[in-house]
Amino acid sequence: MTALLTPSISLPDRPQAADRLLSAVPLRVRGDVQRLLFNPRCGGRGLRRWLSMMETDWRGLPRLLPLELVDVYLNDDDAEPLHDCENCGLFVPVRVARRIGHEPTVDRIYFPNCPNCGGRTGRFAYWSSRS
């Protein structure tokens, strides 16, 4: 008897991060997220940035990401994961207005409190609370 293998849903240069992220995305929007990750012409800059951050900072992800968090990335092309939760470390999106040098300015804060655990969010909130 042969075991059925599930194909990996990963980007060629980021297999571990992509698999981790996609496995935590709610099933009903996982296909949309995967499409944005694989086709930069469709948007998804914030999701790809999240993947890059996950590669260098191996914080845990919740078993299932809050749908409202994923929806921000699907509906706002200017959303980027620039804030995080002080408690659980989850990266949360903000709307980026413009960039001054290398630093972006925030136009909209979607989640002043973490949609996963309720903790406060902000720029470097996770590492600031660890000192």
Along the 131 residues of the chain, how does pLDDT read in single tens digits?
A: 444 444 444 455 545 888 999 999 999 999 999 999 988 888 899 999 999 999 888 788 999 999 999 999 999 999 999 999 999 999 999 998 876 677 778 889 999 999 999 999 999 899 888 76
CB of 92 closer than 8 Å to CB of 85: yes
Which run of H or of E encompasses 79? strand 79-85
> Tokens standing for 66?
């809050």
Domain ranges in the chain? 15-128
- What is the Cα Rg of the chain in Å? 15
